Structure formats: C-alpha cells, structure tokens
Amino acid sequence: MALLPIITAPDPRLKQLCAPVEAVDAEIRQLMDDMLETMYNAPGIGLAAPQVGVLKNVIVVDLADENEEKTPLRMANPELLEVSDDDASYEEGCLSLPEHYGDVVRPAKIKVRFLDHENEIRELDAEGLLATCIQHEMDHLDGILFVDHLTALKRNMILRKLLKAKKADKPLASYATV
C-alpha cells in the first residue's frame, strides 16, 4: 500500500468531472487500498479519487474511531437511488481544504448503489454522518467542494486564504499535500 499526496484547493483537478470505472479490477482495488491508507493517515473519515489526482468515480469512507475496529467502505461508481425529503446539517471539513469548516445542509438519509472492492453491486442505506460523508465524497466526483454549498462570501474567503497559503508555500496540513 502507499500513502498518496492529497491535492489542496484551489486546484483545477478538484473541479473536474470524474469518469466511471469499467470494473473494479486489481488496479482499482489497489487505488482503493492506497486511498484508505492515505485517509487513515491524515486522518479523515472519507476520501475521493480526485483528491489524489485520479479522475475516476472511486470513494472510500470509514467512520470508525481510531481505537475501534476499522469498517472501511470502498465504492466505485456510487449512485444515489433515494434521498430523503428531510435534511440534516453538519459542520463539514475536507482534507483538500485543510483547517476550514462550514455547515452544509444535505438530505438526511440516502440509499446508494455502488460496486464494491470485489466488483459486486451493493446497495446501502445510510443516515447521519455516514450519509453526509458519502454525499460529500460523491460531490468530489462531480468537481463540487463543500464550500460550493456555502455563500459566495464564505467560499471566496476560504479559497482566498488557501491560495495565499499555497503561494507562501505554507503547509496547513500534517499529511502530504500538493
């Protein structure tokens, strides 16, 4: 397995549409495992392939605490089958926007279909932080960041600060970034 550098905003690679994978083969399985290792190391609770420079529809999620047994979810081509009418608001963070947070409102419950690490089609019902995290990671696959759900004022303030830090070559994260 390998630790992959995480791309930080602003970066055009975080604004691209990702492509579906044809099948979860050995290469995609390796990508999923490297993404999980990178996510655990950061640490984070989710990661999407474009955050490590791979423009493919692949995400990983694990909400387990560090002293709990790991519960990794590896998903390729995730698609929302159902979203609830009721919403939930969470304060979101993002490994590509280190040190910035914002309240985002999303559907509280979802049903998602995806290909797992064995190329099997799975469906999962999620609510709470798991539903929020899956939607946050799926947004990345469409080039959408959590700041795109905030007001233009808040979004621009965060992106300006990140650009300034990048120009000053000032690392904001303890993990490897580009």
Catalytic residues: 137
Of the pair 34, 137, the CB lying nearest ligand K1U is at 137
Contact 107, 83 (CB under 8 A): yes
Q: How far is the CB of 17 from Zn ion (least distance, A)?
A: 16
How many other CB atoms are there within 10 angstroms of residue 156's CB atom?
A: 12
One DSSP character per residue, 61-118 reads E----TTSPP--EEEEEEEEEEE-SSEEEEEE--TTSTT--EEEEEESEEEEEEE-TT
ω before 43 within 30° of 0 (cis)? yes
How many other CB atoms are there within 10 angstroms of residue 166's CB atom?
A: 17
Interacting partner of 59 out of Zn ion, ligand K1U, none (Cβ under 5 to 8 A depending on kind):
none
Interacting partner of 114 out of Zn ion, ligand K1U, none (Cβ under 5 to 8 A depending on kind):
none
Site membership for ligand K1U, residue 47 (CB under 6 A): yes
Quote the CA–CA distance of 177 and 52 in Å, as a whole number: 9
Site membership for ligand K1U, residue 50 (CB under 6 A): no
Site membership for ligand K1U, residue 128 (CB under 6 A): no
Pairing of strands 58-61, 73-83: antiparallel
Applying CB under 6 A, which of residues 40, 76, 136, 177 lies at the interface with ligand K1U? 136
User: Looking only at residues 2 through 41 of this chain, which bind ligand K1U when binding is defined by CB under 6 A?
Assistant: none
Q: How far is the CB of 129 from ligand K1U (least distance, A)?
A: 7
Quote the CA–CA distance of 118 and 116 in Å, as a whole number: 5
Q: How far is the CB of 105 from ligand K1U (least distance, A)?
A: 12
Of the pair 90, 114, the CB lying nearest ligand K1U is at 90
Residues engaged in binding ligand K1U (CB under 6 A): 43-48, 51, 90, 92-96, 132-133, 136-137
Site of interaction with Zn ion (CB under 5 A)? 94
